[in-house]
Amino acid sequence: MMEKVKDSPHLERCCRQRISWLEATPVVRSAAMSSAPPGYVIPRSWFTTRIVDFDLWLICGGRIEWSDARGETRMLSRGAMILLKPGDDFELRVVGSEPYTNAFVHFDLLNARGRTLPHRQVALPPTVGHVQDTHYFEAVMRRIMFLQYRLHNPESASHDAQIRKLSGHLLKGLLYDYHFSQRADGNIPQAGLEMHHRQKADAALSWIYLHPGTRISAAELAEKFGYSQRHFRRIFREAHGKTPGQALVEARIDHAKKLLSGSALNVTEVAASLNYENVFYFSRQFGRIVGMSPLKYRRQM
C-alpha cells in the first residue's frame, strides 16, 4: 500500500487555488467489480487508510446505507454513483436481503504539464449522485475493465499507450456525463430535459471524445443522432453547458495535448492526425483554448 506523504507548506499554498477537474486529464490505474453479502460493513477506517487516489463507484445491484462523519445518511441502490478521494470519511453498510455489487475505477488526474494533481487541489463533481442510464455507465465501465485486462496481456504490449489513452477517454466521458447530470445537491438530474433527449446528448458527448480526429460538423453530428441542428444544439447545450461545436473543438485539443506530450509527432503531424487542413489554424485554436502554442506546451511537458 502506498504511504501517505505529509503535506508541505508549498502544497498547502497550491491547494488553496482549486481547479476544476474539467481542466485535468484522467489516467486509469485499475478497474474491476466487487461484491459483498447482506450485513457487510465497510468501516470508516478502510476509506481513511486505503483510498490513495480517486475512485469512481457505480452501484450495480443491492442496496447500501451510506453515512458520513457529520451523521448524514442516504440509502443507495442500483444507478447510484460515489466519487471518492483520499481522506474521505464514510461508512457503508449492505442492507436488505440481496448481495451488493459495484463497478469501480481507480484513477489519477493530471494537469496540463502531466503532473498528478493533489486531491485537495481539484474541484470535483458531487461525491454521491445518481446516473440516468445505468446500463450505459455499466457497459462503459466494463469496457474500461477489459482494457485494463489487456494491459496485462503480453501480446498487447505494443499497444499499451493506445489502450491507456482509450481508457482515459472513456473515463473522462463518464465523468462528463456524471458531472453535468447533477445539480448542486448532487442527487437530482437536471430538470427540463426528457430522458430520451438527455441520453442522446450524453451519447453524443461520449462519441465526440472517442472520435476526436473524425471530420464531422455540428450539423452532421446532429443528423447522426437523429435531430435537426437547431434542436440538437439546444438539448446538447442544456445537458452539457456548451454547444456541440465547442465540444468537438475541445475534444480535438484535449487529444492534441496527449499527442504532444506522449508521442514523437511534430505539430504538423498532430494537426494532420486530427484532420486539420491548416496547421496555423490548429495552432491558433490550440493557443486560444490552452493559453500557449503547441510548441511551448510540448517544451513545458
The CATH number for 242's domain is 1.10.10.60
pLDDT over 50 (residue 12): no
The cell for 173 is 466521458
Indicate left, alpha or beta for 76 from its phi (over 0: left) and psi (-120 to 50: alpha). beta
Q: Indicate whether 147 and 36 sit together in one domain.
A: yes
pLDDT over 90 (residue 277): no
pLDDT over 50 (residue 2): no
Q: Indicate whether 26 and 155 sit together in one domain.
A: yes
pTM of the predicted protein model: 0.56
Q: Decide: helix, strand or coil at residue 24.
A: coil
Greater confidence, 292 or 2? 292
| pLDDT given at position 56 | 94
pLDDT tens-digit profile of 209-236?
A: 778 888 888 899 999 888 999 999 988 8
Residue 98 inside a domain? The answer is: yes
CA distance 63 to 78: 7
Q: Indicate whether 199 and 170 sit together in one domain.
A: no
Average pLDDT over residues 262-284: 90
User: Among positive and negative, which fits the CA dihedral 117, 27, 247, 298?
Assistant: positive
CATH number of the domain encompassing residue 137? 2.60.120.10
Average pLDDT over residues 161-178: 88
Confidence label for 283 from pLDDT (cuts 50, 70 and 90) = very high
Q: Indicate whether 259 and 123 sit together in one domain.
A: no
Residue 133 inside a domain? The answer is: yes
The cell for 301 is 511537458
Task: Tell which residue, 144, 177, 131, has the closest CA to residue 22.
Answer: 177
DSSP states of 75-133 as a string?
EE-TTEEEEE-TT--EEEEEESSSPEEEEEEEEEEE-TTSPBPPGGGEEPSPSEEE-S-
pLDDT tens-digit profile of 89-132?
A: 888 999 988 888 899 999 999 887 888 888 888 888 888 888 87
Q: Indicate whether 173 and 267 sit together in one domain.
A: no
| pLDDT given at position 28 | 94
Task: Tell which residue, 80, 58, 171, has the closest CA to residue 129.
Answer: 80
Residue 185 inside a domain? The answer is: no
Q: In what order do the strands lie in the sheet with 25-36?
A: 25-36, 100-110, 54-61, 80-84, 128-130
Last residue of a domain, which of 179, 209, 242?
179
Residue 128 inside a domain? The answer is: yes
Residue 1 inside a domain? The answer is: no
Pairing of strands 122-123, 19-20: parallel
Residue 152 inside a domain? The answer is: yes
Q: Which domain holds residue 37?
A: 7-179
| pLDDT given at position 281 | 93
Residue 189 inside a domain? The answer is: no
Q: Indicate whether 134 and 83 sit together in one domain.
A: yes
Confidence label for 189 from pLDDT (cuts 50, 70 and 90) = very low
| pLDDT given at position 19 | 79
Q: Indicate whether 161 and 296 sit together in one domain.
A: no
The CA dihedral of 76, 80, 86, 89, to the nearest 10 degrees, is -20
Angle at which helices 229-240 and 195-210 cross, to 10°: 90
Last residue of a domain, which of 179, 212, 243?
179
pLDDT tens-digit profile of 119-165?
A: 888 888 888 888 877 878 888 888 898 888 878 766 666 678 888 88
Q: Indicate whether 25 and 157 sit together in one domain.
A: yes
| Structural domains counted in the chain | 2
Q: Indicate whether 161 and 219 sit together in one domain.
A: no
Q: Indicate whether 15 and 158 sit together in one domain.
A: yes
Confidence label for 10 from pLDDT (cuts 50, 70 and 90) = very low
Average pLDDT over residues 17-42: 86
| pLDDT given at position 194 | 61
CA distance 66 to 80: 11
Residue 81 inside a domain? The answer is: yes
CA 95, chain centre distance (Å): 29
Mean per-residue pLDDT of the chain = 81
pLDDT over 50 (residue 184): no
Q: Indicate whether 152 and 78 sit together in one domain.
A: yes
Proportion of the chain above pLDDT 90, given as a percent: 18
Q: Indicate whether 143 and 254 sit together in one domain.
A: no
